[in-house]
Amino acid sequence: MDASTKHSAPGNKPHIDIFCRVVDNFGDIGVCWRLARSLHLEWSAHVRLWVDDLTVFRQLAPALQPELDEQLVEDIRIIHWTDNQTAHTPAQLVIEAFACDPPAQYIDAMPGHTKLWLNLEYLSAESWTAGFHAQPSPQRNGVTKYFFFPGFSDQTGGLIGEAGLSERRRSWMHSSTKKKQFLQRLGLPQAQAYLQADTLFVSLFCYASAPYRSLLHALRKSRRPVVLLVPQSVLPQLERDATTQLHGAVSIPDTGMGNAPASSPDAVPEAAPEAMAQAKSPAATEDDAAQGQQTPLPGVTLLRIPFLPQDEYDQLLWLCDLNFVRGEDSFVRAIWSRKPFLWQIYEQSDDTHLKKLQAWLALFPGHEETKAMMRSWNSPSRHAYFTNQLTALLNTPGQLDSWRRSCRTFAENLSKNKTLSESIRIFYENTANSG
Ligand code: TRH
């Protein structure tokens, strides 16, 4: 079913507990928060989300108050999960994210209350996941726990893709005012000029091991002006490296995020002479238009932006022409954005992650060149190759459009599958009715 046309299912509205431990990064809470919201939205379920690290959580959900033991955010009850937890009656549906082990006291109390216990696994496109999906694992407390694998087919639990997502994306994309205001809020006062100048907007969310210098070199060779939007805390050395590697061909506006000049003493202020020398596509700003002048745009503008709330991060992905994403949840959101993206997979021992990457690439309908570029973005030894591939792709007419079409086709096909929250609901209803 299309992720965009979901409606609340009739029938029971169960109580659901989701348990989340923040192991590292933002992916654990990113997935759980999104799942909590989509279960609540689509099923009108009563959802409690147990999280051990509210400080990390707050970055994705700024309304959250980390000092509170319990609070309601967007109708989801957030419980700060600590070692000395007060007792709560277990829910009918318990979702343990990534084998994080709910508290022993809670597990002991589950019989008689819990109808279904799921262990939500990490996303993988590998075919073996279909065989393990929804398999039972009897537990000592007498309640059976089931493995639940998100995935790219209906033989798995599907992807998180909440109701109304396509409509929200479409309506936002049709509003040039929203795009302009969004960019201005992110620290680009000349947003209108950039939008009119056929600027290539690129978002960058990656791990420290990414060949980001190769990316900078490719962007520098772009025939279109480039705005590279980088969330706070991603690659703290980027401004410094951009300044030294691109020999002044980059403009680094000070957005008050501590990027320039503090972390890069040599950083070039906006419209610095060197950047102007590389300027592309002169464009009129609103002020210039009034005065009948034109201001050249720098070749590459590196814009440090705040870490955005989840819904606004979606808007960033919708707006950009090319998104660099990582891990699990931003990867899925990039898929739903229908825009070209490069995925940096979460690194695992023994190169297990490269097998996962390969399994996903086998499903993706893009050109071989795009897939090769995705592999080199994930491979520390292929940096020069990456620069050449990306440069060719950005500067060859029609290439980016073709990539965009592949992404659209992929997203359209996936949206025919059941979403993760739909799969959970159906599995719950079948289990609850059979027991
Ligand atoms: O942060 P990640 O690297 O998370 C990783 C992976 O999930 C990995 O599989 C897991 O094992 C590891 O964590 C522990 O990347 P991911 O999955 O994309 O999660 C980032 C979340 O942050 C996602 O929900 C999107 C959100 N986000 C925002 O809300 N605002 C932002 O500005 C950005 C950049 C991200």
DSSP 3-state of 403: helix
Residues of the chain under the 70 pLDDT cut: 1-12, 248, 258-297, 435
CATH number, residue 332: 3.40.50.2000
Catalytic annotation on 28?
A: yes
Same-domain check for residues 208 and 157: no
The pLDDT, as a whole number, for residue 402 is 96
Q: Which run of H or E residues covers position 80? A: strand 76-80
Could you identify the atom of ligand 1 that is nearest to the CA of residue 25? Answer: 1
List pLDDT tens digits, range 178-228: 999 999 999 999 999 999 999 999 999 999 999 999 999 999 999 999 999
Total residue count of the chain as it appears in this document: 435
Residue 359: Cβ within 10 Å count: 16
CA of 263 to the centre of ligand 1 (A): 24
What proportion of the chain, given as a percentage, has pLDDT over 90?
Answer: 79
Same-domain check for residues 45 and 183: no
Catalytic annotation on 70?
A: no
325 vs 27, 145, 206, 333, 372, CA distance in Å? 12, 32, 6, 9, 16
Could you identify the atom of ligand 1 that is nearest to the CA of residue 123? Answer: 9
CA of 316 to the centre of ligand 1 (A): 14
- Phi first, then psi: give them for residue 291, nearest 5 degrees: -95, 5
The radius of gyration of the chain from alpha carbons, rounded to an integer in Å, stands at 23
Same-domain check for residues 135 and 208: no
Could you identify the atom of ligand 1 that is nearest to the CA of residue 33? Answer: 24
Could you identify the atom of ligand 1 that is nearest to the CA of residue 23? Answer: 14
The pLDDT, as a whole number, for residue 292 is 40
Largest Cα separation within the chain, whole Å, is 77
Count the domains in the chain: 2
Same-domain check for residues 43 and 98: yes
Q: Report the amino acid identity of residue 156.
A: T
Find, among 299, 334, 313, 315, the residue nearest to 216 by Cα: 299
Same-domain check for residues 202 and 150: no
Which residues line the pocket of ligand 1, CB cutoff 6 A? 23-28, 30, 60, 122, 205, 231, 307-308, 310, 313, 326-330, 346
The pLDDT, as a whole number, for residue 273 is 31
Nearest CA to ligand 1 atom 10: 27
Nearest CA to ligand 1 atom 13: 27
CATH number, residue 426: 3.40.50
The pLDDT, as a whole number, for residue 261 is 36
CA of 310 to the centre of ligand 1 (A): 10
CA of 326 to the centre of ligand 1 (A): 7
Residue 29: Cβ within 10 Å count: 28
Ligand 1 pocket test: pick from 22, 23, 26 the residue with the most ligand atoms within 8 Å of its Cβ: 26
User: Burial letters for 366-381: b for 16+ Cβ neighbours within 10 Å, e otherwise?
Assistant: beebbbebbbbbbbee
Nearest CA to ligand 1 atom 4: 27
CB 265 within 8 A of CB 272: no
DSSP 3-state of 407: helix
Same-domain check for residues 377 and 266: yes
Residue 300 falls in which region: left (phi positive, over 0), alpha (psi -120 to 50) or beta: beta
Q: Report the amino acid identity of residue 89.
A: T
Residue of 42, 162, 321, 328 marked active site: 328
Q: Report the amino acid identity of residue 221.
A: K
Ligand 1 pocket test: pick from 329, 336, 337 the residue with the most ligand atoms within 8 Å of its Cβ: 329
Residue 393: which domain range?
Answer: 165-414
CA of 348 to the centre of ligand 1 (A): 16
Same-domain check for residues 396 and 429: no
Nearest CA to ligand 1 atom 25: 330
Same-domain check for residues 112 and 181: no
- Phi first, then psi: give them for residue 29, nearest 5 degrees: -75, -30
Q: pTM for the full model?
A: 0.91
The pLDDT, as a whole number, for residue 313 is 98
The pLDDT, as a whole number, for residue 259 is 60
Could you identify the atom of ligand 1 that is nearest to the CA of residue 306? Answer: 32
Same-domain check for residues 145 and 113: yes
CA of 26 to the centre of ligand 1 (A): 4
- Phi first, then psi: give them for residue 324, nearest 5 degrees: -100, 120
Same-domain check for residues 74 and 16: yes
Find, among 155, 115, 211, 168, the residue nearest to 5 by Cα: 168
Same-domain check for residues 240 and 283: yes
Same-domain check for residues 122 and 170: no
